[in-house]
Amino acid sequence: MSLQILMKTYQERVDTALETCLPVSTIQPTRLHEAMRYAVLNGGKRVRPILVYLTGHIFDVDPKLLDIPASAIECVHAFSLVHDDLPAMDDDDLRRGTPTVHKAFDEATAILAGDALQTLAFYILTQQAVTIKRLEMIEILTMATGSRGMAGGQSIDMQSMGQKLNIAELENMHIHKTGALIRASVTLGALAAPNIDDVLLKKLDHYAKCIGLAFQIQDDILDIESNTETLGKLQGSDIAQDKVTYPALLGLHGAKEMANSLIEDALKSLNNFNEKADPLRWMARYIITRQF
């Protein structure tokens, strides 16, 4: 089965699960619930929940057991996008080719929708079967979301605008802002397996760390080389906001070389895994090509 088919299958699966998890928009407060659904169900490649499913596949985990962590991951991702797009943050008007939540509704509703999606993610994890390591999952997702994860990375990003960062400082920012949730996605998929080996868990975490950084580098490259229609957001927004990016520090060629090196490192982390890890190998290559 190709990665394209697998991604479509898991996209549909997590979308169905999210439909069940999200409050219906006819229940009070209707505007808030409508905004939450708008934020989550407005498309997207679902890369993070797909990583949950692909990692669980290595250990023959029943996809039904992966629906909950996959849904929780996507709710956290959606919350982060809603807040990142706010005028006080990146001040973006478009997300996935449609108006951002604060544009489609209003700023206050967007803030509340993000808050509610974050708490919904952890509520979802509490519904996991008792046989699964749900406390560990909650711990991992909490760390990936807070000051030592996405929130911390976003804070560094905001403080660094107009400043000069070196490559180590830029990497540290994106290990938190982008990489933390990608690492959590892979870890949650692995934790759904019974008796997961710590050595294998560390190798998977290293894989996720590498593809998380490569993902951000490729986003920086696309902000230069792609267009608004393809990106689903305003092209060149990083440059306009005077953000520090990998191409700015390394040049386009250097940034592409670094992304490719990270992917090779990620693939080496999977050397001890059999063909069941092939979809993760395909995903690593997809990260920097965005092509099947």
Count of structural domains, the chain: 1
* pLDDT confidence tier of residue 9, bands split at 50, 70 and 90: very high
Tokens for 265, please give them.
């490192």
- Average pLDDT value for residue range 22-36: 97
pLDDT at 167 over 60: yes
Q: What is the pLDDT of residues 211-238, one digit of tens each?
A: 999 999 999 999 888 776 655 556 556 5
Q: What is the pLDDT of residues 46-103, one digit of tens each?
A: 999 999 999 999 999 999 999 999 999 999 999 999 999 999 998 999 998 899 999 9
Given the DSSP bridges, would you call strands 94-95 and 98-99 parallel, antiparallel or unpaired? antiparallel
pLDDT at 251 over 70: yes
Residue 7 belongs to a domain with what CATH number? Answer: 1.10.600.10
Q: What is the pLDDT of residues 254-265, one digit of tens each?
A: 999 999 999 999
Sorted by sequence, the CB contacts under 8 Å of residue 2 that are 6+ apart come out as 282, 292
Q: What is the pLDDT of residue 246?
A: 94
Q: What is the pLDDT of residue 186?
A: 98
Q: Which domain holds residue 282?
A: 3-289
**Is 28 exposed, middle or buried, given 0-12, 13-18 or 19+ CB atoms closer than 10 A?**
exposed
- Residue written as token pair 């990003």: 157
pLDDT at 284 over 60: yes
- Average pLDDT value for residue range 248-271: 96
Q: What is the pLDDT of residue 233?
A: 57
Share of the chain above pLDDT 70, in %: 93
The model carries a pTM of: 0.94
Count the residues in the chain. Answer: 292
pLDDT at 130 over 60: no
The average confidence (pLDDT) of the chain is 92
Query: 3-class DSSP state for residue 25?
Result: coil
